Chain A
Amino acid sequence: MGDILSLVAKRLGFGLLTLFVVSILIFFAVELLPGDLAEAVLGQSATEETVAAMRDQLGLDRPAIVRYLDWLAGAVTGDFGTSLVTGDRVSEKIGPRFGNTLFLAAYAAIIAVPLAIILGVIVALLRNSIFDRVANVATLTSISSPEFFLGYILILYLAVKAGWFPAIASLKSDMSLVDMMERTFLPALTMVLVVIAHMMRMTRAAIINLLASPYIEMANLKGTPAWKVIVHHALPNAWAPIINVVALNLAYLITGVVLVEVVFVYPGIGQALVDAVSKRDFPVVQACCLIFAATFILLNLLADVGSILTNPRLRHPK
């Protein structure tokens, strides 16, 4: 067991280090602005006094390192400073939106993960049949389409023509869970379509990869039925790659949400990021980027840790 623990600890340490480096990257990218933050925000028409006042307010007279440490200390405790445009606390603006985004991602994941794994196993069982080919073409098409294409198709057919679901996923705070699920069904479905395609392909590849190994051939030669070979012999060894696939796709869900949120005007963090980028509201941009990057790194970390923990060779060392 000591072996596994040290591997996991090493991976965790590396993840933390990556997060630290990324936070440096995000903070100092803004330092690359031509001129400085105050000039960039106020524009060319600003007078010397207003620029100086702005600098003073933002504390730009302090060295960048000090400001970075300040920002990092704030970010760790959930405080990202104040918005340059509205003057509100960034955390107050982003907090509920982050919750909304998580809700949407979780909604999509709950539908997509079991469905994708079952379909992936079925397609692996039927490999090289006509169904496999059709599934291959369908999943490739779904992966290659931009999210907004899928989203607008769903809006056109399910919301405008059929009128089954609302086209715009606006949320109110006093909505019941069922209401929220109906409101957010189309954005969730868009993400489900993309993610299922990815996961199915990866699950299929992982299982087919295993089916080439000698012990599977042995099981086949014994005359074990095909489904039993998959469920009893292949699946236990396939958990590691499948967990990897799931975590990677969840990471994709969290970040691929930006375009979907814009299509459906969903009040999530992705939309906040896009708004802030066009208004050049840097504290909000930095906060959103840090949150997205942290989630992405965390889920990648989970993918690695998961595959270490489920690896039979590491769990039962000789």
Chain B
Amino acid sequence: MSIFVIGYYALLIGASCLAAYFNKRSIFLLLFSLLLFSFVMGIIGGQGALLTVTTLAAILALAAGISYGFREFLVQLSDSNVGKAFGGGSVMYWTVLLILVVLIFGGWMLEWFNPAVFFAMLVVWLILPFLTDQTAKALRTAPLTAAFGMFIIFTYAIMGIFAEYIAPFGEAEIISDSFAPPDDNMLLGADQLGRDMFSRIVYGSRNSVGLSLVATTLAFVMGAGAGLMAAIKGGWFDQFMGRFADVIMSVPSLIFALLILSIFGTGLEVIVVVVAVIYSPRVFRLTRAVAGNVVVMDYIEAAKLRGEGTGYLIRKEILPNSTAPLVAEFGLEFCFVFLLIAGLSFLGLGIQPPTADWGSMVRDNATLISFGDYTPLIPAAAIALLTVAVNFVVDWMLFRSSGLKEM
């Protein structure tokens, strides 16, 4: 019995007594079950097991603290009500957006300058209209898990956009022996060819996440477009698209992707198109269902009688009334696409070397696992962390839009 073990149990017992005294039922239950669990753990695993529990608890507390801080930060930011000025989509707003997109595209295509700064500006510009006091109100009641998710997404975005400035080495730069252990120069050691692992993880956030974002957007444009058209037009188009979606969804996604990739090879554009085609039926079905509920409303009938065109109906009547489920679906869809592309890369059929990519990094360094080294798990954990984060945020959004607040 060292001082640590005694202190550990004393702290747990004291904390659960305090929780019981102040009538905090759920905290007491959590602490007391942790105490009972620790008894078993301590008997089986000794002091080491208790140390692990303490470390885990510290990590959890750290994550909770960061999430709490980040949520307050977001609440304060949106409370300033900057977004009001941008509401309704003024001409100025769209012009600036267009200029930014052109700048990014120009910088990327012509390689005159690095578009990272403009990209960051674009993201900020896209978020600005949402900074209203309504958002602040919603954020105040957000669970910590959702705030944690937003914080992680924020971190990944910074990492991806400013990869060149964060990473100490280039993504394909060979700087040491293969599988060199971590030292002062390399935070996480070297990979199978002697490239810096940390730099490759930073670059991977741009490549893997970027590719998935492009594929998800394409899937969304295709699926939502077809869904809206099907809801408005109805008739044979609706029937045909519905059956088509059924057929695509009846083949498991990974199997479908493998079939097509075996035929067309593994180019980036092939992956994007294949993944978009595989996942668009899901978006199609949701959009069709949501828009189908809106289309039968009286105000749509009125707009039709006024002689409004299909474009007007979609933009001004249907989309504003079906954004919430569609945004949540975009998050979910992104997770599926991201996991599928990571899986393909892991199988060696996704993003091809020397481009850094998390899925293929796991595969390339997997041999290290059998020596008890956890390095190959880091890119895999990076994948898992992002999908978990997005899922947390989506979970909160779905909960808010479902209206099932009391169940």
A residues within 8 Å of B by Cβ?
A: 18, 21-22, 25-26, 29-30, 32-33, 127, 129-131, 134, 136-137, 140-141, 143-149, 152-153, 155-156, 160-161, 167, 208, 211-212, 251, 255-256, 258-259, 262, 273-274, 276-278, 280, 282, 285-286, 288-289, 292-293, 296-297, 300
Contacts and interface: CB of A to CB of B under 8 A. Distances in A.
A29 B264 CA distance: 10
B407 A18 contact: no
Given A129-B29, A143-B391, A144-B387, A293 B252 contact: yes
Contacts of B246: 18
28 contacts: A26-B259, A29-B260, A29-B263, A33-B263, A129-B26, A141-B384, A144-B388, A144-B390, A145-B384, A146-B339, A149-B380, A152-B380, A156-B377, A167-B369, A212-B407, A259-B346, A262-B346, A274-B347, A277-B261, A277-B262, A286-B259, A289-B251, A289-B259, A292-B251, A292-B252, A292-B255, A293-B251, A293-B252
A263 B367 CA distance: 11
A258 B257 CA distance: 12
A140 B374 contact: no
B137 to A, nearest CB: 22
Nearest to A156: B369
Nearest to B389: A144
Q: How large is the interface on B (under 10, 10 to 19, 20 to 34, 35 or more residues)?
A: 35 or more
B358 to A, nearest CB: 9
Contacts of A29: 259-260, 263
Contacts of B313: none
B335 interface: yes
Given A152-B380, A160-B370, 13 more contacts: A29-B260, A143-B391, A145-B384, A148-B380, A161-B372, A255-B252, A258-B258, A258-B347, A259-B343, A276-B262, A277-B259, A289-B251, A296-B251
A40 B383 CA distance: 35
Given A127-B407, A277-B258, A144 B372 contact: no
Given A32-B263, A152-B376, A156-B369, A274 B258 contact: yes
A296 B250 contact: yes
A55 to B, nearest CB: 18
Given A29-B259, A130-B26, A282-B262, A148 B251 contact: no
Complex A-B, nearest 3 residue pairs according to Cβ-Cβ distance, in ascending order: A144-B387, A255-B252, A149-B380
Interface string B341-366: 01100111100000000010010001
Contacts of B371: 160
Nearest to B148: A137
Contacts of B263: 29-30, 32-33
Contact of B251 (A22, A134, A155): A22
A149 B339 CA distance: 11
B324 interface: no
Contact of B388 (A18, A141, A285, A297): A141
B259 A285 contact: yes
B392 interface: yes
Q: Which one of A32, A147, A278, A286 has the greatest number of beta carbons of chain B within 10 Å?
A: A278
Contact of B347 (A259, A285, A286): A259
B17 interface: no
Contacts of B384: 141, 144-146, 149
Nearest to B376: A152
Contact of B372 (A160, A273, A293): A160
Given A143-B391, A156-B377, A130 B29 contact: yes
A255 B255 contact: yes
A130 to B, nearest CB: 4
Q: Which one of A30, A137, A161 has the greatest number of beta carbons of chain B within 10 Å?
A: A137
Contacts of B251: 22, 25, 289, 292-293, 296
Contacts of A289: 251, 255-256, 258-259
A140 B392 contact: yes
Contacts of A129: 26, 29
Interface in B234-255: 246-247, 250-252, 254-255
B145 interface: yes
Interface in B304-354: 335, 339, 342-343, 346-349
A208 B404 CA distance: 11
Given A146-B342, A155-B369, A300 B250 contact: yes
A285 B145 contact: no
Contacts of B261: 277
Nearest to A295: B252
B30 interface: yes
B79 interface: no
B378 to A, nearest CB: 10
B405 to A, nearest CB: 11
B389 to A, nearest CB: 9
A130 B372 contact: no
B343 A149 contact: no
B215 to A, nearest CB: 16
B395 interface: yes
B30 A130 contact: yes
B373 to A, nearest CB: 8
B18 interface: no
Nearest to A254: B252
B381 interface: yes
A18 B348 CA distance: 31
